[in-house]
Structure 1
């Protein structure tokens, strides 16, 4: 077993995507097209002939020394055909290039580094909900808080808005999304790239909630991959937040997708629904950090 460091331009795109696609722990974040659009500057650690791969997203500059976690990528880690064990995970972290003196990234549960690698590790939580059940079973588990919000949205006469264009969604995000104005404008363009590429592959759809006048109150793009349907970047206006639009959005999603052999992935950093209010199941991932810079010197 050998793990080597490879620059983006030297990566075999077909072999890489095949590994991510068939990996036992694959997800949408690992595909080359997704990394190129969101990570932009990245290299990778690759085991043998692409039996396992680990993307490393860095900030460009005079020195490529900082690995960071960009927006719209919850977690990365080691994507592998065969289940990982501590021995293989150690090989990857042993091969981490010394050029990266500052590391701040998130990895999936099976990629947690050992203490000997010197990372500061903190556990984070995402949630998933099985859609392979009836809508009635799913709705029976709504909490009183969630049900009250849903009742409020129904009383307000809200309705689903299924004909949203990517541009309308992006404009709604730019106005109501998280972060400052400059960050939202930057994120808007990244979202459009993701959405159009996912739609081209038949891997997602837009959905929203509007009031009686047709004003958009909540919207999201749901992207499907690896037997999951993931909330990519939910957006809600102040009016929608106060009047239960998020509850109606989620309820409509369950009504139209219940019974499918999919896990709904809340994509925790983005979710505007509290997963505990719909009895979703938690699972961990990890924030790992290391700073080995000499004080005052990059």
Structure 2
């Protein structure tokens, strides 16, 4: 394996970096430079060879300590390579990162699977749904309960719409879930809107919603298409929406709209049992990804989480 180099953000060749992400089966939306530039105040990278393999390193500083963290709206990062990685090669990147950062709480991507006692991994749940086939074939795998709900919901005359203003959906998401996700700060929502602009040259952002006959928004989603993966980045469901199963309508219609295009729908969730159960109704399949935590701080600081 070639030498792994630490490259600061300012010195990174963004063009080569983005080519690595777009050309690798491990390359996900979150690792594109434009997305990271928006979501992270600081990020550097480990690079092997002429950008054949890389690992983004989003970091913060507290009490003079630099530590790795997982940015908001960024489910998976980890090690990205144009070729399959051995466990030994993946571990080499983790060990190299630990030379510069004594503390880390980060997620890797679903293809970064390795074993070891020095850096044990905790698996997190994610569900995906292949929607390459036409809608009828995908819909045939819906659960009995979901099919029943979709018939029952018709009496409410809900309307599926293309929402033009993504700011409206981001604001609703913040209103509904900010207290449940205290790690998301005010600036994170602003940064996400910036990320949606940054990634426009190589991806598409879609906003979809379900309204009642009074044009009240019941449920909404912001989806980002990158390569052949459709990311369900933001999902909102109001109290009135839950009462009429508006989310069932929303994702059924999203699947209807995007089926038959050779895509994979990434539900982006979840370790929460109720959310996972909801996505399984549509035929969602497990695609877990690793969470990595280590703490090599001096003993006196180990009790203080950055």
Q: TM-score, normalised by structure 2?
A: 0.89
What does residue 137 of structure 1 align with? 137
Query: 1:231, 1:267 within 8 Å by CA — same for their partners in 2?
Result: yes
Query: 2:68, 2:105 within 8 Å by CA — same for their partners in 1?
Result: yes
Where 2:97 maps in the other structure, the secondary structure is: coil
State yes or no: 1:279 paired with 2:283: yes
What does residue 205 of structure 1 align with? 206
What does residue 262 of structure 2 align with? 261
In the TM superposition, residue 115 of structure 1 has moved relative to its aligned partner by: 1.4
Paired with 2:26 and 2:108, the residues of 1 have a C-alpha distance of 11
Query: 1:131, 1:258 within 8 Å by CA — same for their partners in 2?
Result: yes
Query: 2:18, 2:33 within 8 Å by CA — same for their partners in 1?
Result: yes
Query: 1:205, 1:222 within 8 Å by CA — same for their partners in 2?
Result: yes
Paired with 1:207 and 1:296, the residues of 2 have a C-alpha distance of 50
What does residue 125 of structure 1 align with? 125
What does residue 4 of structure 1 align with? 5
Higher mean alpha-carbon deviation, 191-200 vs 84-93, is at 191-200
Paired with 1:53 and 1:290, the residues of 2 have a C-alpha distance of 20
State yes or no: 1:151 paired with 2:155: no
Paired with 2:190 and 2:137, the residues of 1 have a C-alpha distance of 38
Call closer, same or farther: CA 1:14–1:62 in 2, change over 3 Å: farther
Query: 2:38, 2:192 within 8 Å by CA — same for their partners in 1?
Result: no
Higher mean alpha-carbon deviation, 57-66 vs 18-27, is at 57-66
What does residue 82 of structure 2 align with? 81
Query: 2:110, 2:289 within 8 Å by CA — same for their partners in 1?
Result: yes
Point out where structure 1 has 5 or more consecutive residues left out of the alignment. none
In the TM superposition, residue 257 of structure 1 has moved relative to its aligned partner by: 1.4
In the TM superposition, residue 97 of structure 1 has moved relative to its aligned partner by: 4.1
Query: 2:35, 2:199 within 8 Å by CA — same for their partners in 1?
Result: no
Point out where structure 2 has 5 or more consecutive residues left out of the alignment. none
Where 1:278 maps in the other structure, the secondary structure is: coil
Where 2:72 maps in the other structure, the secondary structure is: coil
Q: Deviations over 1:214-256 (max 9, x none)?
A: 0111111111112111101111111112211100000111111
Higher mean alpha-carbon deviation, 144-153 vs 123-132, is at 144-153
In the TM superposition, residue 129 of structure 1 has moved relative to its aligned partner by: 1.2
In the TM superposition, residue 55 of structure 1 has moved relative to its aligned partner by: 0.5
What does residue 50 of structure 1 align with? 51
What does residue 228 of structure 1 align with? 229
In the TM superposition, residue 74 of structure 1 has moved relative to its aligned partner by: 0.8
